[in-house]
């Protein structure tokens, strides 16, 4: 009996050693490449969200056609796709816990766009928030785990059947269906509920994106991984989770202002991505306690910086400036609207002047 069980034990030991051997140090150039690609992708995503928001505003003001018939909305979708493709590539070069916090770049980019193109005033909270976000991002990048894995089909299968991931996915599924019930059946249209749905889907997206990106990278290097069924399983999960993410995120952008959606989405997405990297890819395994503390401190600084940037920003106007509310006229109590003759057509104004967060709207109030 001892002799018959020894080959099985030897096989298990060799398999465990093989999984450990796949954890290798990545050169600095690889990390820098992943960071640069992620930064560029997040800037494009920030621009695309603003364009999609403007498309919703224009649809609500000037026409009854659905938003998905707008060419401008599709331009935003294409830009988001390119940005997400950049993030997809970045996950193949670095751990998820290193790439995910760089989402603060999208918030900083939004603040810069509003100052340069929308002629907004740079606020003190913008400077402080940007400084905190950049400092937090630096700490995250510095103290994040600098080890990564060669993602192969066998490694993904090994991680998929691990007990801690099965427990994690079970808890996540319960939370998702509870939130979906509150959102759909109880009509709880709260920004936190919608963004939690996005974050739970983002957790699966991060896992599947890193798996697909890693297996494609290994295939390019010469170790073909596309012949294994797990690759196509992860590919389906990636496409489905991304599609539903876009759906819920698009609903959130339509119901709420970007100053609410962007910071909450950043916090929830970053937390879910880091948690997914810890649970599924075990990225914090062997990480020193000081590194973990500084990493969490960097998360806190980034979150605080993002909220400071978005704090007290003027909300997007859903009402066109050429309409006058009747209740604003002395002696009138009705809430109907009258449209005076405009000297210049509304469609003649520049795109930058119509984008979100126009400070002129705040002074009118």
pLDDT at 211 over 80: yes
- Structural contact between residues 273 and 96, judged by C-beta atoms closer than 8 angstroms: yes
78-93 tens-digit pLDDT: 888 888 788 788 887 7
Share of the chain above pLDDT 90, in %: 22
Of 128, 139, 141, 143, the C-alpha closest to 305 is 128
pLDDT at 8 over 60: no
Contacts of 159 by beta carbon, 8 Å cutoff, 6+ apart: 165, 280, 281, 282
Which pLDDT value is given to residue 159? 92
Q: What is the pLDDT of residues 17-71, one digit of tens each?
A: 444 444 444 456 777 778 888 888 888 887 887 777 777 777 777 766 776 777 8
**pLDDT exceeds cutoff 60 at 361:** no
Q: Which of 122-136, 194-208, 336-350 has the highest mean pLDDT?
A: 194-208
Span 128-165, pLDDT tens digits? 988 998 899 888 888 887 766 678 899 999 999 999 89
Q: Indicate whether 334 pLDDT > 60.
A: no
User: Average pLDDT for residues 155-176, to the nearest whole number?
Assistant: 93
pLDDT attached to residue 340: 46
The confidence score (pLDDT) of residue 30 equals 72
Identify the weakest region by mean pLDDT among 1-10, 35-44, 165-174, 265-274. 1-10
pLDDT score, position 339: 47
Task: Return mean pLDDT, the chain.
Answer: 76
pLDDT above 70 covers a percentage of the chain that reads: 73
């Amino acid at each position: 009996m001892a002799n018959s069980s020894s080959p099985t034990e030897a096989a298990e030991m060799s398999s465990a050693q093989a999984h450990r051997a796949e954890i290798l140090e990545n050169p600095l150039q690889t990390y820098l490449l992943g960071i640069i690609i992620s930064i560029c992708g997040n800037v494009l995503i920030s621009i695309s969200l603003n364009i999609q928001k403007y498309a919703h505003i224009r649809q609500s003001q000037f026409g009854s056609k659905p938003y998905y018939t707008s060419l401008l909305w599709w331009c935003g979708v294409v830009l988001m796709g390119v940005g997400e493709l950049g993030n997809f590539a970045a996950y193949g070069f670095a751990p998820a816990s290193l790439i995910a916090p760089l989402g603060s770049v999208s918030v900083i980019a939004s603040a810069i766009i509003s100052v340069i193109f929308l002629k907004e005033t740079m606020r003190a909270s913008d400077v402080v928030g940007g400084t905190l976000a950049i400092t937090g991002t630096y700490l995250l990048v510095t103290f994040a785990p600098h080890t990564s894995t060669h993602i192969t089909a066998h490694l993904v299968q090994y991680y998929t059947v691990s007990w801690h991931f099965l427990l994690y996915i079970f808890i996540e599924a319960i939370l998702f269906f509870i939130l979906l019930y509150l959102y759909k059946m109880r009509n709880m249209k709260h920004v936190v509920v919608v963004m939690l749905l996005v974050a739970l889907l983002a957790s699966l997206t991060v896992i599947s994106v890193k798996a697909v990106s890693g297996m494609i990278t290994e295939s390019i290097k010469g170790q073909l991984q596309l012949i294994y069924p797990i690759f196509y399983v992860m590919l389906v999960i990636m496409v489905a989770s991304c599609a539903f993410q876009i759906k819920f995120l698009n609903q959130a952008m339509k119901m709420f202002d970007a100053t609410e959606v962007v910071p909450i989405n950043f916090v929830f997405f970053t937390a879910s991505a880091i948690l997914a990297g810890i649970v599924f890819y075990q990225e914090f395994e062997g990480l020193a306690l000081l590194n973990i503390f500084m990493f969490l401190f960097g998360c806190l600084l980034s979150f605080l910086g993002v909220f400071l940037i978005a704090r007290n920003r003027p909300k997007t106007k859903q009402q066109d400036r050429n309409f006058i509310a009747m209740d604003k006229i002395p002696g009138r109590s009705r809430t109907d609207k009258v449209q005076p003759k405009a000297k210049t057509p509304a469609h003649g104004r520049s795109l930058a002047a119509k984008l979100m967060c126009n400070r002129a709207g705040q002074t009118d109030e």
